[in-house]
Chains A and B, each alone.
Chain A
Amino acid sequence: NAGVMQNPRHLVRRRGQEARLRCSPMKGHSHVYWYRQLPEEGLKFMVYLQKENIIDESGMPKERFSAEFPKEGPSILRIQQVVRGDSAAYFCASSPRRDGSNEKLFFGSGTQLSVL
């Protein structure tokens, strides 16, 4: 009965390096969301994906950030050339297939990214 699994829990990168954050949704869930929480702030939407499709990326910074959810394997949030301002907690959430009914998100424990 595994929940949403995120790894790594903590990731330290130097400025200019790449960060890769992984998220395996709950079994049976085909929808993945990524949120970012900056210190002392709330959860900010980044991107919503279904298998092999990006549905809404309106919260993603225009440069350096990308996300994917391949047919096989976890969803990946990739940050290229990280800067100190990217330091934050990144949360992944999943939900079951949407059929027009309301449903809730199930969150992982997050990845704390620290950029030195």
Chain B
Amino acid sequence: DQQVKQNSPSLSVQEGRISILNCDYTNSMFDYFLWYKKYPAEGPTFLISISSIKDKNEDGRFTVFLNKSAKHLSLHIVPSQPGDSAVYFCAASGENFNKFYFGSGTKLNVKP
């Protein structure tokens, strides 16, 4: 059962433009959401998180938006840089869960 879904396997954007990565979830009990970035042959690294009591969290070039009614979150990267090229995973969890559920990832390619 895929409780966290990333429907776009890949995304290509031009350097300097905005990258928008999307994520949907099915379980309304999730109350904590995270984005991870992964380079080849490395482990995922934490990027940004958001609690369900908020609808937006910003950290530098990265902003995560949460729409609880739609069970949807998105990661905005602006301006995009070539070094942002990686696979991005969204993840969800909550106080009632012992694990973090991950999406299948979106491969972002930022073209110079």
Interface residue A28 (Cβ < 8 Å from any Cβ of B): no
Shortest Cβ distance from residue A101 to the other chain B in the assembled complex, whole angstroms? 9
A102-B32, A105-B100 known; A42-B43 Cβ under 8 A: no
Interface residue A33 (Cβ < 8 Å from any Cβ of B): yes
Would B46 and A105 count as touching, CB distance under 8 A?
yes
State in angstroms the CA–CA spacing of A4 and B43 once bound together: 10
Would B100 and A45 count as touching, CB distance under 8 A?
yes
Q: How many A-B residue pairs have CB under 8 A?
A: 58
Would B99 and A33 count as touching, CB distance under 8 A?
yes
Q: Which of A45, A55, A102 contacts B51 (CB 8 A)?
A: A102
Interface residue B95 (Cβ < 8 Å from any Cβ of A): yes
Q: Which of B31, B44, B99, B101 contacts A91 (CB 8 A)?
A: B44
17 new A-B contacts at CB < 8 Å, known A58-B99, A91-B44: A33-B99, A33-B100, A35-B102, A42-B89, A42-B105, A43-B44, A43-B89, A44-B102, A48-B99, A102-B32, A102-B93, A105-B91, A105-B100, A106-B46, A107-B45, A109-B43, A110-B41
